[in-house]
């Protein structure tokens, strides 16, 4: 009996000891501190702070400050810096503390390296050995990259994973996750993303890549791909892949500018880098039997789009980068990014030339930068089987830049086990299987349907989905209170045939409106999936504002019901359309169409013309048109939503050309005319000065037509700032039969505001815009010169309110601030001319909601 009691006491003591040990190990120690020169009391930048016996650590910033959080029973930190005697500093576990570390200069070490002892002078590029070193790296960089070879080919393996990060125990214990516990994974508490994550996505790609220096050519042959496939009812998997790969692009520091989450960063080895970065030689190390100089760098201005980190430079006379560690400053004007870390490794061939061998990019996103659930993504890219300077036949480079030559066995697990450059980590092996299991769970499907209704506006009912929800209710001066209900079929009904429609009723005009369409897919794919290839027939009876063109929203969206000024000149349209649409993998597309269009004036708008000196009202306007549209968007990336494709910003241009022919006598068509339109849009990245979105457009109408068939320039009478419309122009204010326009919208990404104390804490970004429109109207289309045409609209007082642009171009511009609360842009818009036109404003304030990094 006593023996049993004794054993019980031992067990209790053992359990208590284990509990206390785990409690101590789980303690979080927050340490802040400053490292200084013991003699001069000058702060020391980029000092290495580590926990002995672990891989935990950090470095001081350019001001000599550091902070770190440790989970565990650690009692000291090690402080090391080239040219100084290393020092271990005692810390107290579980207690927040601030430490000051004084390092003594080591004369023996200083005699071997280029760092000089003594009082640290004010930073200057002149006579600075670190700047002299980076300038040599810059001067030799073209020799130390693949592009320095005449020919190169290699195999490339890419892996991209995403997970919910920084998950608390409270989050995991929520009732919603009761059936999903198998999804959660543990990782090192010091790792980016926190101790507990929930993997959501993974994709892999294997390719063979070819490069020729002169004439410059590249080619990628995709050998195999594998990724998590989401149910297309809820998520566009192809779009997710395109978007994430744009966010997590390959980082090549040998490029002058590097894309990071849709922003352009200046490389630390760009020619202008010494003007934007501070450089310090902080150590000499040995790696792979090479002696390397550790060159630390940081942004001169902490808010600018710049990296900070370390370069390890070879001392073999080539001044090549052997390794690079890139991070960003915690005060950078970049939204939603908690942690950023990129590692790059370079190898050398038998002749001593260097090439990229592996990159790893980790980014942890979160609404708050300090706490709460986030999204962690990691992209690993490795390169092997290099063949350098062996001539490559011209035939290899024919066809598109990227070509799929996927092997038959490319999706088998055995294939990937043999072909992966490195095996999956334990936590990654079950991602494909777990997500498949998740999507088959009823509770997940219910959640996905609710999310789709809230975010995309559609409710799935199997073969049919109802929506979009934001059009169910709206109001306007013509229809008054308007109700609408619509829906469409899905691939569950058929992959060939698709039907869509809606019905709407206006309680003021007491008229029904409706839309019906039937589509036949010629490639047996969803018509909402790239590349499209279908024939569609549709009929629509509905209202429209002349001159309003919207992007990514519908005209009866509730939020667009609120407009400024008079807004009662509308149209009743009956439109029958027959379209054929064809897209190609290289993002060239064309569409051929026929449209029979009946227009009736609505509200205060009238169709009238002079006959025998009297004004006679016309009942309607009928046209029959044939059209051809060509579009080319090289390397375009987008997310396919339920209604629209949302483009992922990139540097490639988009070209559009459209030809429309009106045919008199065909199905009651009343006019012969030819309409030509060309449009080019492109984003120009200007490194540290931000980027400009530029659109150039021109059009010409040949033939005699009434004003509803002229180019009615895109106006905006809402309070939202619209990028492609003239924000202080009234609907139907200007018409032309020939015109040219230039729109420039520029964001400085906070380049100026980042340098103003206190203001830079708000992380605002400066935006400016210019919009110019030049046009005119030939006498044959001017009702004041040709009275056989419809007269221009006028207001209730009989004053004309539709004009031409004969006098001068229409010009408006704006200055504004974006990134307000991370989602809001506010512009002060000025209209520079045509201020004598009725009911116009010289100034206006417009807002725009945009979620951006």
Give residue-wise pLDDT tens across range 791-834.
998 887 778 889 999 889 999 999 999 999 988 999 999 999 99
Please state, in angstroms and rounded to a whole number, the distance separating the CA atoms of residues 242 and 235: 13
Residues 6+ apart with CB under 8 A from 679: 654, 655, 656, 657, 695, 696, 697
Element (H, E) at 433: helix 431-439
Paired tokens of 504? 């709407």
Paired tokens of 438? 């998740």
Around Cβ 98, how many Cβ atoms within 10 Å? 10
Cβ-contact 205, 198 below 8 angstroms: no
Please state, in angstroms and rounded to a whole number, the distance separating the CA atoms of residues 254 and 268: 9
Residue 171: exposure state from Cβ atoms within 10 A (0-12, 13-18, ≥19): middle
Cβ-contact 771, 811 below 8 angstroms: yes
pLDDT at 22: 44
Paired tokens of 277? 């970065």
Paired tokens of 687? 């490194």
Element (H, E) at 52: none
Per residue, the 3-state secondary structure of 554-588, as one string, reads: CCCCHHHHCECCCCCEEEEEEEEEEEEEEECCCCE
Ramachandran area for residue 578 (φ above 0: left; ψ -120 to 50: alpha; else beta): beta
Please state, in angstroms and rounded to a whole number, the distance separating the CA atoms of residues 400 and 221: 10
Please state, in angstroms and rounded to a whole number, the distance separating the CA atoms of residues 731 and 546: 7
CA 275 to the chain's CA centroid: 28
Please state, in angstroms and rounded to a whole number, the distance separating the CA atoms of residues 266 and 245: 20
Q: Give the CB-side neighbour count of residue 822, counting CA atoms within 13 A.
A: 11
Confidence (pTM): 0.81
Paired tokens of 648? 């992922």
- Give, in order, the Cα–Cα distances in Å from 735 to each of 568, 702, 777, 793: 18, 14, 8, 11
Paired tokens of 453? 């209704």
- Give, in order, the Cα–Cα distances in Å from 723 to each of 268, 719, 770: 34, 13, 10
Sole residue written with tokens 């919603």:
176
Please state, in angstroms and rounded to a whole number, the distance separating the CA atoms of residues 573 and 153: 58
Cβ-contact 197, 184 below 8 angstroms: yes
Residues 6+ apart with CB under 8 A from 512: 503, 504, 505, 541
- Give, in order, the Cα–Cα distances in Å from 660 to each of 130, 541, 551, 589, 593: 63, 22, 22, 17, 9
Averages of pLDDT over each 10 residues, the chain, 853 residues: 40 43 56 88 84 79 82 83 83 87 71 42 85 94 87 93 82 73 72 77 92 92 87 69 74 89 89 94 86 92 90 92 90 86 90 88 83 85 92 90 73 84 84 79 75 76 86 88 92 92 94 96 88 95 76 44 71 96 93 96 90 86 97 85 74 95 95 97 92 96 94 90 92 94 95 91 94 95 90 84 91 96 93 93 92 78
Structural Rg of the chain based on CA atoms: 32
User: For strand 374-388 and strand 151-165, is the pairing parallel, antiparallel, or unpaired?
Assistant: antiparallel
Residues 6+ apart with CB under 8 A from 470: 457, 554, 557, 558, 559
Cβ-contact 211, 386 below 8 angstroms: no
pLDDT at 692: 95
Helices and strands counted in the chain (H then E): 9, 45
Paired tokens of 67? 């902070």
Q: What share of the chain is helix, strand, coil (3-state, %, to 5)?
A: 15, 45, 40
Q: Give the CB-side neighbour count of residue 698, counting CA atoms within 13 A.
A: 1
């Amino acid at each position: 009996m006593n023996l049993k009691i004794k054993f019980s006491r031992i067990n209790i003591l053992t359990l208590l000891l284990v509990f206390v040990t785990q409690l101590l190990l789980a303690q979080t120690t927050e340490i802040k501190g400053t490292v200084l020169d013991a003699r001069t009391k000058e702060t020391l930048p980029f000092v290495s702070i580590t926990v002995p016996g672990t891989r935990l650590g950090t470095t001081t910033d350019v001001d000599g400050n550091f902070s770190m959080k440790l989970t565990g029973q650690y009692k000291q930190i090690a402080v090391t810096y080239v040219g100084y005697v290393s020092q271990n500093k005692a810390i107290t576990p579980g207690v927040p503390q601030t430490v000051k570390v004084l390092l003594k200069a080591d004369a023996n070490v200083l005699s071997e390296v280029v760092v000089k002892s003594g009082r640290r002078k004010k930073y200057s590029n002149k006579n600075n050995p670190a700047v002299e070193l980076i300038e040599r790296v810059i001067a030799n960089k073209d020799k130390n990259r693949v592009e320095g070879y005449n020919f190169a080919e290699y195999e490339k393996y890419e892996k991209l994973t995403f997970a919910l990060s920084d998950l608390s125990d409270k989050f995991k214990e929520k009732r919603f996750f009761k059936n999903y516990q198998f999804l959660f994974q543990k990782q090192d508490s010091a790792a980016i993303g926190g101790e507990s994550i929930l993997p959501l996505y993974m994709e892999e790609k294997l390719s063979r890549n070819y490069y020729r220096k002169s004439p410059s050519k590249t080619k990628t042959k995709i050998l195999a791909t594998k990724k998590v496939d989401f149910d297309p009812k809820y998520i566009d998997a192809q779009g997710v892949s395109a978007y994430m790969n744009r966010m997590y692009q390959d980082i090549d520091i040998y490029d002058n500018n590097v894309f990071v989450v849709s922003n352009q960063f200046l490389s630390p080895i760009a020619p202008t880098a010494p003007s934007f970065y501070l450089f310090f030689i902080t150590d000499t190390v040995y790696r792979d039997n090479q002696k390397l100089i550790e060159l630390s760098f940081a942004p001169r201005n902490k808010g600018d789009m710049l990296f900070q980190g370390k370069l390890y430079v070879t001392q073999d006379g080539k001044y090549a980068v052997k390794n690079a560690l890139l991070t960003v400053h915690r005060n950078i004007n970049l939204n939603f990014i908690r942690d950023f870390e990129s590692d790059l490794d370079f190898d050398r061939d038998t002749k001593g030339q260097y090439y990229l061998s592996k990159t790893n990019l980790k980014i942890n996103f979160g609404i708050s930068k300090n706490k709460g659930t986030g999204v962690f993504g990691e992209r690993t890219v490795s390169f092997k089987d290099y063949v350098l300077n062996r001539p490559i036949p011209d035939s290899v480079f024919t066809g598109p830049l990227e070509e799929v030559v996927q092997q038959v066995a490319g999706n088998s697990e055995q294939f990937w086990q043999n072909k992966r450059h490195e095996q999956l980590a334990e936590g990654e092996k079950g991602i494909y299987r777990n997500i498949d299991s998740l999507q088959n769970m009823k509770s997940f499907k219910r959640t996905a349907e609710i999310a789709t209704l809230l975010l995309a506006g559609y409710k799935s009912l199997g073969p049919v989905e109802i929506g979009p929800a934001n059009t169910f209710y709206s109001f306007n001066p013509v229809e008054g209170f308007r109700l609408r209900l619509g829906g469409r079929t899905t691939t569950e009904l058929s992959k060939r045939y698709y039907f869509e429609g809606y019905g709407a009723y206006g309680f003021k005009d007491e008229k029904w409106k409706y839309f019906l369409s039937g589509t036949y897919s010629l490639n047996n794919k969803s018509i909402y999936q790239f590349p499209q290839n279908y024939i569609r027939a549709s009929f629509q009876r509905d209202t429209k504002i002349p001159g309003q063109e919207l992007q990514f929203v519908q005209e009866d969206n509730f939020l667009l019901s609120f407009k400024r000024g008079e807004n009662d000149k509308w149209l009743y349209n009956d439109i029958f359309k027959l379209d054929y649409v064809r897209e190609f993998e290289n993002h060239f597309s064309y569409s051929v169409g026929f449209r029979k269009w009946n227009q009736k004036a609505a509200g205060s708008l009238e169709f009238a013309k002079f006959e025998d000196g009297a004004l006679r009202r016309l009942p309607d306007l009928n046209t029959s048109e044939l059209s051809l549209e060509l579009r080319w968007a090289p390397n375009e990336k987008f997310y396919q939503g339920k209604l629209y494709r949302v483009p992922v910003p990139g540097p490639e241009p988009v070209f559009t050309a459209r030809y429309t022919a009106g045919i008199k006598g065909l199905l009651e068509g009343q006019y012969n005319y030819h309409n030509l339109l060309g449009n080019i849009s492109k984003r120009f990245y200007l490194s540290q000065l931000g980027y400009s979105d530029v659109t150039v457009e021109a059009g010409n109408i040949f033939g005699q037509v009434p004003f509803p068939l002229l180019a009615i320039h895109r106006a905006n009478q809402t309070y939202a700032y619209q990028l492609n419309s003239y924000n202080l122009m009234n609907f139907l204010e200007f018409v032309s039969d020939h015109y040219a326009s230039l729109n420039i919208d520029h964001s400085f990404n906070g380049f100026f505001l980042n340098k103003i104390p206190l203001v830079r804490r708000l992380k605002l970004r400066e935006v400016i815009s210019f919009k110019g429109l030049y046009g005119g109207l030939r006498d044959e289309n001017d009702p004041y010169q040709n009275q056989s045409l419809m007269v221009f609209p006028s207001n209730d007082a009989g004053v004309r309110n539709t004009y031409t642009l004969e006098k001068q171009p229409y010009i408006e511009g704006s200055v504004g601030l974006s990134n307000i609360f991370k989602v809001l842009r506010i512009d002060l818009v000025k209209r520079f001319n045509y201020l004598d036109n009725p009911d116009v404003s010289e100034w206006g304030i417009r807002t725009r909601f945009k979620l951006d990094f």
